Amino acid sequence: MGSELRYSFDTYPLTYALWAAVAVSWVLAIAGLVVRLARARPVARFDRLPARIAAALRDSTVQRPVWRRPLGGVMHLGIMLGALLVLMTFVITHYVTPRGSEWSRSHLPHALVDAAMLLVLIGLAVAAWRRHFRRGEGRVVPAPPARAEDVGLWALLLVGVLTALLSEALLITLALPAWRRSAFLSAPIAALLEGMSKPLRRGLYGWSWSVLHAAVLGMAFLLPWTKWRHLVLAPVALLTRKSAPLARLDAVDLDTDGPFGALRRRDLTWKESLDLAACVHCGRCSQACPAATAAAGDGGLDPRRLLETLAAADSAGPLAEACGEDAIWQCATCMACDDVCPIGISPLSLVIDLRRERVLDAARFPQPLRDLFDGLTRRGNPWGLAQAERDDWLASLNGDGLAEGAGGALPTLAPDGETDVLLWLGCMGGYDVRARNAVLALAQLLRRAGVRYAVLGADEGCCGDPARRAGNEALWVDLAEANIAAFSSRRFERIVTLCPHCANTLAHEYLTLGAPLPVVHAAAYLADLVREGRLAPVGRSAGGEATAQEHPLRVTLHDPCYLARGMGDTASARTLLAALPGVDLVELPHHGRDALCCGAGGGRMWLEEPDAPRLGEPRLAELAAAEVDLCITACPYCHTMIADGGADRVATEPAAAGDFPEVCDLVELLAQACPDPAIDHTPAPTTTARDQE
């Protein structure tokens, strides 16, 4: 091998000089990135390192996230695998064994060269088809058009592959190597070129060889400066991506002098800076984003454009202004962008840091959020409703103990008290009448299963999710510390809540404040009770099989973002629905982790404008077309947004009144199948907290 390299160096000195220039280009690019990362804000990303390494290796090689769209998987596999094979065999055939008997007998490398070129051509053809002919097919938001950089890189790769194919075909006609029988793609082309004169073929071979090397050198030179750098950075981005659960936010240090969010590029975390460099601009985040869907190109929030703007931003002004201050408040924090990114980038983290800077440093944010923060600060709920209203409701249920036979009561757990389940109401469960019905249904089910339960009563405050997602980290800490103090004075085995937002905040984000809490969403807890046989819906036979009904109830399930994507639980609700006799589940086109957002999260429930398009409109359209009797939810925010959105659709289109299904919480449907004769579970009037606000 050494002699072959010396031969190549003596024969092609200019080639090696150009490769040296490529090496210098790489060193400069890497040095610049390292400097940016070293100056960035720290963030923890190396916990559970063995598991992180295993996941990064799996997703870098198998490319599981890419295959969520099969056509995209075919494209990426063809281009990536083909390019790597071409590079490997190119080095072997041109630098390791460029002449002699070993070269003549190298059947496998040359067969791999042809296979690699075929894979790249297939991948490029699929890429062109997806970007130019199938952009909008089957998607809520069409794929973004190819950028000039994309077209240029594809063209360079295409030139390289075609000239490699031509060079190999011409070489076969000139040298008649033994490996020509293995070159299944270039040998037929060589047969077509046999009619040319030998001098012409020699001249063409020299030109094609030169163009091929120029293309390879050009690709190598451009790699660290273009989106192709993701070949190196994507595995690192996957290694350092946000670990499960997806809904958990990174903490910010409030004991510094600030800024407390992202004012300039240097204020981003090193992971965020790495993400900006690793992004391939595929646009999957924008296609999944409900805000981008609602804006429809009108200058609103677009995750891909946000990443591109931040990557190109200088230090002249605040990043939030460069990205558009209105745009950052359109995010519903649904995590769809984070979930679909094939290389672990989190546009949501960037949005949250931009919001933190606007709230904590600049004090520039929409007026409805000022009212939200004021209500949370003064009265412990986002609507600013009197806490006595919730406390009076609890008192009316005769709930100040754990005595058996308390009916549908919500007993209050006093300090130093003990219970099995601490039932966390959440702001919706405490103040919204729709959600109160679901709370009572959950209480009924717990009693039916023989579970001792209680609530915190007056000591329960907001978990802080609306404040934190809106950028007010300081207020979130205050709310969380008050709740942690209430928890610490009581003994319980589990906290159960109907709200996925509360479940995520209590279980995963209070950890950063030193409070590990045993929290579970009601759907998961009830699914366990059903599996254990402690809850058995009426109509189940002695053998446990559901009895058939002549006219089954057709229902569909709206997966809440914070339950399905945020905490990764798509099974519990379906387990409960499967246990209900006479209920047929009809899945929506977008379900599970791919579910469309209702538009309530991230403070959006308080930021909706009457004349602005609803972020949840695509979901409402799917529900209207579902032809089902009920839409089942497992989140009080989703219940409110879908019910109100459906009512508005009916009001504006009376002819479509029969198309939109009634909305029902999952626990209410389960409670109807597990009745407790001691409880009168008549639904209350439907005045909501939003109406009272």
Q: pLDDT tens for residues 207-263?
A: 998 898 888 888 889 889 999 899 899 999 999 998 889 999 999 999 888 899 999
Of 19-33, 126-140, 383-397, which gets the smallest average pLDDT? 126-140
Amino acid 175: pLDDT: 86
Cα–Cα distance measured from residue 280 to residue 105, given in angstroms and rounded to the nearest whole number: 40
pLDDT computed for residue 81 by the predictor? 78
Domains and CATH numbers, the chain: 2-238 (1.20.950), 247-365 (1.10.1060.10), 377-692 (no CATH)
Q: Which two tokens stand for residue 365?
A: 């944010």
The structure tokens listed for 321 are 């202004």
pLDDT: which is higher, 610 or 411: 411
pLDDT of residue 596: 95
**pLDDT at 90 > cutoff 70:** no
- Tens-place pLDDT, residues 249-279: 999 999 888 899 999 999 999 999 999 999 9
Out of 354-363, 384-393, 425-434, 650-659, least confident range: 650-659
Which value, in Å, is the radius of gyration of the alpha carbons in the chain?
30
Give the DSSP H or E segment for 243.
Answer: none
> What share of the chain has pLDDT > 90, as a percent?
61
How many other CB atoms are found less than 10 A from the CB of residue 376?
25
Sequence-distant (6+) residues with CB within 8 A of 125 are none
Q: What is the biggest distance separating any 2 CA atoms in the chain, rounded to whole angstroms?
A: 102
SS3 420: strand
Question: What confidence category does residue 692 fall into, taking pLDDT thresholds of 50, 70 and 90?
Answer: low
Q: Residues 53-89, buried b or exposed e (16+ Cβ, 10 A)?
A: eebbeebbeebebbeebeebbbbbbbbbbbbebbeeb
CA distances from 429 to 352, 482, 581, 639 (A): 26, 19, 28, 12
> Could you give the CA distance from residue 304 to residue 275 in angstroms, rounded to a whole number?
12
Write the DSSP assignment of 127-144 as a string of letters.
Answer: HHHHHHTSSSTT-SSPPP
Asked whether the beta carbons of 578 and 673 are under 8 A apart, the reply is no
Look at residue 91 and give its three-state secondary structure.
helix
Q: Would you say residue 623 has pLDDT above 70?
A: yes
At 154, the pLDDT band (50, 70, 90 cuts) reads confident
Q: Residues 468-498: pLDDT tens digits?
A: 999 999 999 999 999 999 999 999 999 999 9
Compare 167 and 466 and report the one with higher pLDDT.
466
- Give residue 4's pLDDT: 56
Lowest mean pLDDT among 42-51, 80-89, 546-555: 546-555
Q: Provide the whole-model pTM.
A: 0.87
Residue 218's alpha-carbon distances to 161, 213, 229, 231, 666, in angstroms, are 13, 8, 14, 16, 58
